[in-house]
């Protein structure tokens, strides 16, 4: 009787096992969560040091046009204007996304709607392979093939926004294409049939029904592509010219946030102003990545509500 | 313009877009392989890199890349597995879980330079690891964790609920059900996820420049004592990987045959990633057949 009572009141072996498993997996999950908090915390404290310790005004950092952290500028403060890099980063990102979106949507439509069998079998694996090509390889091709070509065609050095945009265009194309095809595939078949039954041509069906239904997904794909382009470092660094100057044309050497980070961080010592401002650049990257992320979430919510 | 004409025009435009993209794809892969393959030789793969003279190889870089990949997977897989199991099997539907999912999304969309800088700050400087394979592997772990976690979670989600119910109704604990029934079924999917993420880790450079460093010291491939300084297994030595090597020879511009080296190294990278991709599919299918005794998927 006692043993029975004991058995009934004690947790079983199975529930101990479950307790063990749950705590282990929760431990791993919370570790990942803590890691993200740690990254945000460290990059933020480092990035804000420019403003709290070195007393640089946010205005002169974001809107200043000369970048020379070791020199004292006219206003008595070090010259840490990040505007040229911010402009270049935004420019290459937007241009690459603008250029890539029609191609990506075209290919996605081809793969999912026009020639699902032929297109799917041939293009799909190729696009998947392209997503996996390392960014240095894109950078190397840009440097060894695209830069001389640009120099030959347009003169100048061949480095600059145009070359950077073209390299990023090829890099984000597979990303946007594969995400856009996923969202096109998710459009219910009924929509197609309904449009065709009303006498729509294929293009009318695609344009008026399918593309509209898939719009939130396509927008998400474009934003993912932009996030990738904005954060891309080495491929851009190799073809952009790396001179922190306001871009004056399509092919003048300039610098993005990421390229300045990769070139600069090894040449500065931790805790000094030239190093702190680089962390501020990293902070801008972080904030932009959070911005892209919330944009995706926002579109996701809006897209769901419409259904 | 009649709607038929518009239809034909639009279809033509789409075909033109596809044509351009296919041309770019073929040009790209063709360029890498055509310029790269002639530079690959046994000598290229098995000799050390030289900085100032032509004719250097990529032996150390290739080994470093593979070793770093292995270490990264060894570190990141257990955590990703735990996290994936938690999210798929245990996590309640509440705001904490939502926050965790958001954290993983944020981590996966962080630029790899930022992840690399964080690794540099924490491991190289704070923990005093210096430029080392270990610091690089830890930075790559951050980079790899969200991708791996997501693919593991998806693989677990693909397992039908019936399997879980069957396990629990036999009196097994949830944990036993997960480890003995759900995980084996999800294994092919998990494996595919690992290999795909391995491809990404293998080609990553931006996160490594300031964590595992840009130099490849000569190591002794016969020295198996991983604590000794010149052992090839020593995780505390700096290690330039293949991708970092391509970046370095191109940006420093002191190696005379930089173009040939990077073309060859790019082709090696692409071929290895291609093998990963094909291998992932093949192995996943074979394993599925083996574990579930079914003829095909």
For chain B, the structural domain boundaries read 40-292
Instruction: Quote the CA–CA distance of A127 and A174 in Å, as a whole number.
Output: 5
Query: Which residues have C-beta within 8 Å of that of residue B42, sequence separation ≥ 6?
Result: none
- At B297 the three-state DSSP class reads coil
pLDDT at A98: 94
Adjacent-strand bridge partners of A241: A254
Instruction: Quote the CA–CA distance of A214 and A212 in Å, as a whole number.
Output: 5
- At B214 the three-state DSSP class reads coil
Query: Across residues B22-37, what is the average pLDDT?
Result: 87
Instruction: Quote the CA–CA distance of B255 and B236 in Å, as a whole number.
Output: 27
Chain B residues whose beta carbon lies within 8 Å of the beta carbon of residue A22 = 86, 90, 174-175
Angle value at C-alpha B85, between B83 and B87, nearest 5 degrees: 70
Burial label for A306, CB within 10 Å (0-12, 13-18, 19+), is exposed
Chain B nearest C-alpha distance from A225 (Å): 11
pLDDT beyond 80 at B216: no
Q: Measured in Å, how far apart are chain B's first and last C-alpha atoms? A: 49
B272 close contact with A: CB closer than 8 A: no
B166 close contact with A: CB closer than 8 A: no
Cα atoms in the Cβ-side hemisphere of radius 13 Å centred on A126: 21
pLDDT beyond 50 at B25: yes
Query: Which residues have C-beta within 8 Å of that of residue B98, sequence separation ≥ 6?
Result: none
CB contact under 8 A, A134 and B85: no
Query: pLDDT digit string (tens) for B109-151?
Result: 889 899 999 999 888 888 888 888 899 999 999 989 999 999 9
Query: pLDDT digit string (tens) for A164-193?
Result: 999 999 999 999 998 999 899 989 999 999
Q: B72: which 2 tokens?
A: 């990264």
> What phi-psi label fits residue A106: left (phi over 0), alpha (psi between -120 and 50 degrees) or beta?
alpha
Domain A83-306 in CATH 1.10.3720.10? The answer is yes
Domain ranges across chain A: 83-306
Query: pLDDT digit string (tens) for B169-180?
Result: 998 888 889 988
pLDDT at A61: 84
CB-based burial, B232-243: b 16+ in 10 Å, e otherwise? bebbbbbbbbbb
CB contact under 8 A, B103 and A36: yes
Q: B37: which 2 tokens?
A: 């393959």
Q: Select from A39, A136, A292 the Cβ nearest to the Cβ of B109.
A: A292
pLDDT at B187: 87
Adjacent-strand bridge partners of B174: none
CB contact under 8 A, A37 and B103: yes
pLDDT at B84: 93
Q: Which of A49-58, A115-124, B4-13 is predicted least confidently?
A: A115-124
pLDDT at B295: 53
Query: pLDDT digit string (tens) for B154-169?
Result: 999 999 999 999 988 9
Chain A nearest C-alpha distance from B224 (Å): 31
pLDDT beyond 90 at B83: yes
CB B230 within 8 A of CB B220: yes
Query: pLDDT digit string (tens) for A202-244?
Result: 899 999 999 999 999 999 999 999 999 998 888 888 888 888 8
pLDDT beyond 70 at A255: yes
pLDDT beyond 50 at A307: no
CB contact under 8 A, A231 and B11: no
Angle value at C-alpha A290, between A249 and B88, nearest 5 degrees: 135
B243 close contact with A: CB closer than 8 A: yes
Searching chain B, which residue's CA lies closest to the CA of residue A204? B7
pLDDT band, residue A37 (cuts 50/70/90): very high
Chain B nearest C-alpha distance from A122 (Å): 10
pLDDT band, residue B61 (cuts 50/70/90): confident
Chain B residues whose beta carbon lies within 8 Å of the beta carbon of residue A259 = none
Q: B57: which 2 tokens?
A: 């190889």
Query: Which residues have C-beta within 8 Å of that of residue A67, sequence separation ≥ 6?
Result: A79, A80, A81, A82, A84, A85, A244, A260
Burial label for A26, CB within 10 Å (0-12, 13-18, 19+), is middle
Q: Select from B82, B102, B120 the Cβ nearest to the Cβ of A29.
A: B82
pLDDT at B228: 73
Query: pLDDT digit string (tens) for A123-160?
Result: 877 887 888 888 899 999 998 888 888 888 887 788 88
Instruction: Quote the CA–CA distance of A154 and A199 in Å, as a whole number.
Output: 49
Query: Which residues have C-beta within 8 Å of that of residue B238, sequence separation ≥ 6?
Result: B130, B131, B132, B133, B212, B213, B214, B215, B216, B217
Helix H or strand E encompassing B286: helix B258-292
Map tokens 């000598």 to a residue: B43
B278 close contact with A: CB closer than 8 A: no
Query: pLDDT digit string (tens) for A48-90?
Result: 988 888 888 888 888 888 888 777 777 777 888 888 899 999 9
Query: Which residues have C-beta within 8 Å of that of residue B286, sequence separation ≥ 6?
Result: none
Note whether ipTM > 0.90 here: no
Selected for mutation to probe chain A from B83, B87, B125 (highest A CB count within 10 Å) is B83
Chain B residues whose beta carbon lies within 8 Å of the beta carbon of residue A290 = 106
Bigger pLDDT: B54 or A271?
A271
**Fold of domain B40-292:** MetI-like fold (1.10.3720)
Chain B residues whose beta carbon lies within 8 Å of the beta carbon of residue A127 = 25
pLDDT beyond 50 at B297: no
B176 close contact with A: CB closer than 8 A: yes
User: DSSP string of chain A?
Assistant: -HHHHHHHHSPPHHHHHHHHHHHHHHHHHHHHHHHHHHHHHHHHHHHHHHHHTS---HHHHHH---EEEEEE-TTSSEEE--HHHHHHHHHHHHHHHHHHHHHHHHHHHIIIII-HHHHHHHHHHHHHHHHHS-HHHHHHHIIIIIHHHHHHHH-S-S-SHHHHHHHHHHHHHHHHHHHHHHHHHTS-HHHHHHHHHTT--HHHIIIIIIHHHTHHHHHHHHHHHHHHHHH--HHHHHHSB---S---STTS-B--HHHHHHHHGGGS-TTSHHHHHHHHHHHHHHHHHHHHHHHHHHHHHHHHHH-
Q: Select from A46, A114, A289 the Cβ nearest to the Cβ of B11.
A: A114
CB contact under 8 A, A134 and B121: no
B82 close contact with A: CB closer than 8 A: yes
Q: B65: which 2 tokens?
A: 């890349």
CB contact under 8 A, B175 and A20: yes
Q: Which of A15-19, A74-78, A114-118, B65-69 is predicted least confidently?
A: A74-78
CB B40 within 8 A of CB A235: no
Chain B residues whose beta carbon lies within 8 Å of the beta carbon of residue A139 = 246-247, 250
Instruction: Quote the CA–CA distance of A140 and A237 in Å, as a whole number.
Output: 10
């Amino acid at each position: 009787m006692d043993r029975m009572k004991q058995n009934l009141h004690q947790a079983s072996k199975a529930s101990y096992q479950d307790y063990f498993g749950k705590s282990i997996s929760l431990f791993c999950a919370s570790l990942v969560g803590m890691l993200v908090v740690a990254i945000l915390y460290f990059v933020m404290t480092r990035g804000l040091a420019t403003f709290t310790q070195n007393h640089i005004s946010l205005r002169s950092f974001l809107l200043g046009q000369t970048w020379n952290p070791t020199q004292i500028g006219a206003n008595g403060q070090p010259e840490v204007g990040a505007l040229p890099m911010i402009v270049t980063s935004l420019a290459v990102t937007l241009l690459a996304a603008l250029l890539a979106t029609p191609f990506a949507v075209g290919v996605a439509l081809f793969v999912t709607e026009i020639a699902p069998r032929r297109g799917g079998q041939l293009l799909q694996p190729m696009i998947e392979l392209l997503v996996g090509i390392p960014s240095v390889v894109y950078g190397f091709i840009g440097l060894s093939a695209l830069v001389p070509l640009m120099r030959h065609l347009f003169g100048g050095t061949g480095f600059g926004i145009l070359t950077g945009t073209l390299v990023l265009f090829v890099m984000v194309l597979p990303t946007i294409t594969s995400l856009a095809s996923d969202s096109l595939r998710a459009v219910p078949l009924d929509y197609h049939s309904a449009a065709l039954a009303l006498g729509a041509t294929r293009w009318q069906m695609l344009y008026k029904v399918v593309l509209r239904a898939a719009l939130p997904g396509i927008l998400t794909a474009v934003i993912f592509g932009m996030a990738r382009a904005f954060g891309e470092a080495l491929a851009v660094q190799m073809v952009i010219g790396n001179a922190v100057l306001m871009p004056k044309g399509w092919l003048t050497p300039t610098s993005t946030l990421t390229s300045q980070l990769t070139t600069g961080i090894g040449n500065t010592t931790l805790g000094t102003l030239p190093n702190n401002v680089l962390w501020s650049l990293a902070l801008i990257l972080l904030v932009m990545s959070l911005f892209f992320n919330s944009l995706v979430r926002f579109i996701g919510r809006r897209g769901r509500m419409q259904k | 313009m009649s709607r038929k004409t518009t239809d034909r025009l639009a279809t033509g435009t789409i075909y033109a877009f596809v044509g351009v993209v296919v041309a770019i794809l073929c040009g790209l892969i063709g360029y890498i392989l055509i310029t790269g393959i002639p530079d690959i030789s046994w000598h290229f793969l098995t000799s050390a890199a030289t900085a100032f003279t032509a004719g250097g190889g990529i032996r150390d870089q290739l080994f470093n890349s593979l070793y770093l990949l292995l270490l990264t997977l060894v570190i990141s897989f257990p955590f990703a597995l735990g996290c994936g199991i938690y999210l798929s099997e245990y996590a309640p539907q509440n705001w904490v879980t939502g926050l965790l999912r958001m954290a993983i999304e944020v981590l996966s969309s962080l630029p790899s330079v930022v992840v690399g800088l964080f690794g540099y700050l924490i491991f190289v400087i704070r923990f005093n690891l210096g430029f080392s394979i270990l610091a690089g592997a830890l930075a790559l772990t951050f980079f790899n964790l969200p991708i791996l976690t997501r693919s593991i979670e998806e693989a677990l989600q693909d397992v039908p609920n019936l399997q879980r119910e069957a396990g629990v109704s036999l009196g097994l604990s949830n944990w036993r059900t997960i480890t003995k029934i759900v995980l084996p079924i999800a294994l092919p999917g998990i494996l595919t996820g690992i290999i795909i993420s391995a491809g990404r880790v293998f080609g990553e450079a931006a996160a490594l420049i300031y964590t595992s460093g840009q130099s490849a010291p000569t190591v002794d491939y016969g020295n198996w004592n991983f604590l000794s300084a010149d052992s090839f297994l020593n995780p505390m030595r700096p290690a330039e990987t293949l991708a970092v090597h391509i970046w370095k020879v191109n940006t420093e511009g002191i190696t005379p045959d930089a173009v040939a080296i990077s073309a060859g190294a790019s082709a090696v990278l692409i071929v290895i990633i291609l093998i990963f991709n094909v291998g992932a599919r093949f192995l996943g299918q074979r394993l599925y057949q083996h574990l579930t005794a079914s003829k095909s998927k």
